């Protein structure tokens, strides 16, 4: 069986059991597997060996962080188990697809967009692409730390100009959901500076579109409300350092780099969650009360400290020392 046929059969078999987002992630991961098959000259799944799969892992690990690689290998592993049941690959091959061990602490996934990098991105957009959809998106992600699903759910009507704020709402009947359902609903203060960017986007550059539910999405594309994967792709694009500097931070030839044409392959690209993690840490770094950050970002304190607080121990001390009483 050719790899393309096997993947098509697998996705068709699993599609009815998966949510749309799960299916889309699987398609992306299996397309990466197919790219490798083509590059490695694999044209029959029955020819796959454990050594081939080791080569696949080595090929992919140069493009993504270890924690990302572990997650991405889960889908090809499920595919190989399915393929074994259909006699398309050798029995037990899935167990030979092994990700490298993670360094200590990597399970918490500390991938962020560094504050100075966000500032550079915002400065670049302010000069060269002011009030664009990407500019408004980055401003919202950095200022509020909201999840991808939340920014996807926003409508023009959610803006509150009198308060320089925005309302995040759970509207499953209108095609958008929040991760924590109704518990994720909240008002979020932007402040005049950040609100102005969003307001200028709406008045100057937003494409006038409604979605299939008759709602007016805040962020729009030619097709209406952007798909969540479009938001991720936009984050990948704005975090490619070469776009702003003309130089690759890891020494690749920009003209030849696959990441130039396909941002998902860029080794320094970052997604919406990296913005969220960085925004949460920056709020804490600047001395915002953790309880305030918890409510603002819709995350429990336990999860906040375990997965989102990437401050150094010295930075944590600097915040705490302001609360310590002086001694005579």
Instruction: Please write the tens of the pLDDT for every residue from 169-210.
Output: 999 999 999 988 999 999 999 999 999 999 999 999 999 999
What sign has the CA pseudo-torsion 156, 157, 161, 165? negative
Count Cα atoms within 13 angstroms, Cβ side, for 176.
Answer: 27
Alpha helices in 154-221 (DSSP H): 192-200
CA distances 194 to 59, 122, 137, 200, 223, Å, are 41, 11, 11, 10, 26
In 3D space, the residue among 228, 160, 155 whose CA is nearest the CA of residue 188 turns out to be 160
Cβ atoms 146, 168 nearer than 8 A: yes
3-107 classified as CATH 1.10.3720.10 = no
Spell out the per-residue pLDDT of the chain, length 328, in tens: 999 999 999 999 988 888 877 888 889 999 999 999 998 899 999 999 999 999 999 888 877 777 778 888 989 999 999 999 999 998 889 988 887 765 544 444 557 899 999 999 999 999 999 999 999 999 999 999 999 999 999 999 999 999 999 999 999 999 999 988 999 999 999 999 999 999 999 999 999 999 999 999 999 999 999 988 889 889 989 998 888 888 888 888 888 888 887 777 787 888 898 999 999 999 998 889 999 999 999 999 988 888 788 888 888 888 888 777 776 5
What is the CATH code of the structural domain delimited by 115-265?
1.10.443.10
- Return contacts of 290-298, CB within 8 angstroms, 24+ apart: 295/186, 296/144, 296/145, 296/186, 296/188, 297/144, 297/145, 297/146, 298/146, 298/147, 298/150, 298/168, 298/178, 298/179, 298/180, 298/183, 298/184, 298/186
Supply the DSSP string of 305-318, one letter for each residue.
IIII----HHHHHH
Question: So where are the chain's domains?
Answer: 3-107, 115-265
DSSP summary character for residue 101 = P
Q: Which residue has the tokens 């030979």?
A: 96
Note the pLDDT of residue 110: 55
CA distances 166 to 223, 228, 287, 300, Å, are 24, 19, 23, 21
Cβ atoms 97, 73 nearer than 8 A: yes
Q: What is the pLDDT of residues 200-234, one digit of tens each?
A: 999 999 999 999 999 999 999 999 999 888 898 89
What the block records as the tokens of 45 is 């799944």
Residue 232 C-alpha from the chain's centroid: 5
Q: What is the pLDDT of residues 71-95, one digit of tens each?
A: 889 899 999 999 999 999 988 899 8
Taken as a whole, the chain contains a residue count of 328
What the block records as the tokens of 106 is 């990597």
């Amino acid at each position: 069986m050719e790899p393309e046929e096997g993947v098509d059969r697998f996705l068709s078999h699993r599609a009815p059991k998966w949510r749309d987002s799960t299916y889309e992630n699987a398609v992306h991961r299996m397309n990466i597997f197919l790219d490798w098959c083509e590059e490695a000259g694999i044209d029959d799944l029955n020819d796959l060996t454990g050594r081939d799969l080791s080569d696949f892992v080595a090929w992919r690990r140069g493009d993504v962080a270890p924690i990302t690689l572990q997650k991405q290998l889960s889908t090809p592993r499920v595919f190989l188990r399915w393929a074994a049941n259909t006699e398309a690959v050798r029995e037990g091959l899935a167990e030979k697809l092994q990700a490298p061990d993670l360094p200590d602490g990597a399970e918490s996934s500390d991938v962020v967009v560094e504050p100075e990098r966000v500032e550079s991105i915002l400065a670049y957009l302010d000069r060269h692409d002011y009030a664009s959809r990407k500019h408004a998106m980055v401003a919202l992600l950095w200022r509020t730390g909201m999840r991808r699903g939340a920014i996807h759910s926003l409508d023009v009507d959610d803006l509150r100009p009198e308060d320089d704020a925005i309302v995040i709402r759970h509207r499953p009947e209108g095609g958008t959901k929040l991760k924590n359902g109704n518990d994720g609903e909240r008002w979020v203060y932007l402040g005049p500076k950040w609100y102005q960017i969003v307001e200028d986007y709406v008045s100057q550059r937003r494409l006038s579109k409604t979605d299939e539910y008759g709602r007016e999405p805040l962020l729009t594309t030619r097709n209406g409300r952007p798909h969540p994967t479009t938001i991720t792709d936009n984050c990948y694009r704005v975090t490619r350092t070469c776009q702003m500097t003309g130089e690759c931070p890891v020494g690749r030839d920009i003209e030849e780099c696959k990441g130039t044409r396909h941002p998902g392959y860029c080794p320094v690209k970052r997604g919406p969650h990296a913005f969220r993690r960085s925004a949460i840490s920056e709020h804490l770094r600047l001395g915002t009360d953790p309880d305030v950050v918890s409510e603002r970002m819709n995350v429990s304190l336990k999860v906040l400290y375990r997965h989102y607080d990437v401050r150094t121990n010295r930075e944590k001390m600097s915040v705490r020392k302001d609360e310590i009483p002086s001694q005579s």
